[in-house]
Amino acid sequence: MFNKILIANRGEIACRVAVTARRLAIQTVAVYSDADANAKHVAVCDESVHIGGSAPKDSYLRWERIIEAALATGAQAIHPGYGFLSENEEFAQACARAGLVFIGPLPASIKAMGLKAESKQLMEKAGVPLVPGYHGADQDPALLQREADRMGYPVLIKASAGGGGKGMRAVDKTEDFAAALASCKREAINSFGDDAVLIEKYVQRPRHIEIQVFGDTLGNYVHLFERDCSVQRRHQKVLEEAPAPGMTPELREQMGAAAVAAARAVNYVGAGTVEFIVEQRAGGDMAFFFMEMNTRLQVEHPVTEAITGQDLVEWQLRVASGEPLPLRQDQLQISGHAIEARICAENPDKQFLPATGQLQVYELPACLTFERAPGAVRVDSGVRQGDAISPYYDSMVAKLIVHGDSRAQALSRLDTALARTHIVGLQTNVQFLRHVVQSRSFAQADLDTALIPREAAVLFMQERVGLRLAVASAVAHTLQQEQPSQAQQQAPGNWRDPWSQRDGWRAHGPSLRRFDFEFAAERHTVLLRTLHDGTLQLELAGEVATLSFGPAIQGLDVRFGLQRQIVSVYAQGAVRHVFTSQGATQITVIDALAHAGDAQAEGGRLTAPMPGKVVSFAVKAGDTVKRGQTLAVMDAMKMEHTIAAPIDGVVAELLYAPGDQVTEGAELLKLVA
């Protein structure tokens, strides 16, 4: 076994690898960029090396610097994590030349599976089922259009060197093909340096089911069962679970055998995932087709660890050091059900626009980590409270994993754990994840990759916390903050001085206090009366109810009329972030004097939603445009974002050129109504 390894990654996966290494008494070396100088993964490793600038191309993709760091610190092997260099054949070869063990597959295996078109040809020879499509080398747009027309729509355009949902476009009709192809190629060249694509028939009501495989240097292979990753947005996974609902023993055996055959065909060593698209047919039958093989550890590996009780990172380390696989196929068993939710910094209601900012509040549910044992609730995270989510890297903040004896129990645990996840300082998808978990389709395992758009009416723009509870929570929080602390109450003289009390007592009649709030884009005035006996009454929209509150184990125990909830409230400027078992919301305290001089927002401005690069403009100065028309395309946090016209108007001026880097809020062009 190794004595020291370098982890060529960042964030939660670097922290995850370090946990297992520590348990096995292996020293770890972290690498970090300018932006990650104070990152969690640097703190959890034994030593660290600075490797360059904040952008990945200046640091985490500079494999020469990473190898230098490994040699300088005496590391014997490099764990690439996932993303960045994990599937880079040249990096794996460079490690071998430097005398370092690459904790992953052989370079030839990476090459064989790295290009989707070539890998499909290889799988066809190995007898693995394929989706009908065009996988040829000729990339003439006219030929690609003809192939798509021949297959019949819908079709899926996929970057041949792609992964992680990038460089993929679904096309429903021939008129949309050319624009989708151009966009797909742009994203592919930016993400992978290769704009070659393949085209496949888009399978109707597909499920995305993948098989975890492992091989060792002695020629042994096993699969560790399947994961269902059907719930996706932008072709990227949102929720993953194991085992796959509705999976029969016969289909599991067939898919497992196909996955092992795929691994054997490329002499695979280490952890890999064979991804299949599964077509759901009438009568409940399912047919599966090879999609791709990811030659690395997957983001969703914890659900496999939960149902098998195995540490897959430990397996990687043992196999890379020359040991045989820890278990045979007949020794592996499934126990219970596990689900993973990816918590991301993004706004689901704005097409999952990535968000940046500081984690002012970052409270996670009480859980067990893999450092101790796989438990009912597990969190894999690479950040801490106070850390910033920057535009340089992926938007994932953490992974929340739950395990139960059954899927129903796991669902209940996941919803409870999400309710106890409190993040303030930037937008996240936590409430959206709760909506998905509570949706009819997911709860009943009516799964396919179109679940999110199919359930859009109940997943997006849903306010689960009502006005009454939001107001009561905000007022209770304000009053609690105004109360003197126990130390102040016990200070000499204070407890005897009635004028130092802040309980609202008046000599004549009740006290009256006014609050102004903004909730769900509407303004509300609330009156708080403190009666002579100390009773609090809130008047909201003509209704009067008694308010009382007190401390709870976590947060405040708030009673408003007949309603009672344990809530947690966090103040961020004028905004109060309210977390309840029903959901979370925001309510804003309005200071009328402070906002008296505010001007109307300037109409016709079009600004960058976040830091990024201008990819292209679809208009020029003088063009007349309609509301909703595409004006520009930006690239930010590894995704393309379309900027559309908010009004009908005329383009007065373009303020940037394609390729320019822009900051958040920068005005891209001027539009006159």
Q: Active-site residue numbers?
A: 296
Burial label for 667, CB within 10 Å (0-12, 13-18, 19+), is middle
Pair type for strands 27-33 and 357-358: unpaired
Q: How far apart are CA 410 and CA 445, in angstroms?
A: 13
Residue 350 DSSP symbol: G
Q: Which two tokens stand for residue 77?
A: 């092997």
Q: How far apart are CA 208 and CA 279, in angstroms?
A: 9
Q: Tell me, what DSSP letter sits at residue 324?
A: P
CA 420 to each of CA 179, 371, 397: distance values in angstroms, whole numbers, following the listed order? 43, 22, 15
The tally of CA atoms less than 13 A away on the side-chain side of residue 251 is 19
Amino acid 182 reads A
Neighbour tally for 566: CB within 10 Å: 14
Rounded distance between C-alpha atoms, residue 45 and residue 68, angstroms = 18
DSSP 616-661: EES--TT-EE-TT-EEEEEEETTEEEEEE-SSSEEEEEE-S-TT-E
Q: What is the DSSP pairing of strand 4-7 with strand 77-79? A: parallel
Half-sphere exposure of 129 (CA within 13 A, CB side): 15
Where helices occur in 449-567 by DSSP H, the ranges are: 451-454, 456-459, 467-482, 486-489
> CA geometry: angle at 319 spanning 313 and 321, to 5°?
105
Instruction: Report yes or no: 51 and 60 within 8 Å, Cβ to Cβ.
Output: yes
Which two three-digit tokens encode residue 619?
């208009």
**Residues sharing a CB contact under 8 Å with residue 444, sequence separation 6 or more, in sequence order:** none
Q: Is the distance from CB of 631 to CB of 644 less than 8 angstroms?
A: yes
Helix (H, G, I), strand (E, B) or coil at 317: helix
> Distance between terminal CA atoms of the chain?
68
Q: Which residues of 462-473 are buried (b: 16+ CB within 10 A; e: fewer)?
A: eeebbbbbbbbb
Measured N-to-C along each axis, helices 11-23 and 312-320 cross at an angle, to the nearest 10 degrees, of 70
C-alpha torsion 200→202→207→208, nearest 10? 30
DSSP string, 405-426: SSHHHHHHHHHHHHHT-EEESS
Give me the amino acid identity at 136.
Answer: G
The closest alpha carbon to 24, from 95, 86, 77, belongs to 77
Please list the alpha-helical segments (H only) found in 444-599. 451-454, 456-459, 467-482, 486-489
Helix (H, G, I), strand (E, B) or coil at 158: strand
Q: How many CA atoms lie within 13 A of 401 on its CB side?
A: 25
Sequence-distant (≥ 6) Cβ neighbours of residue 201 within 8 angstroms: 131, 132, 133, 151, 152, 155, 156
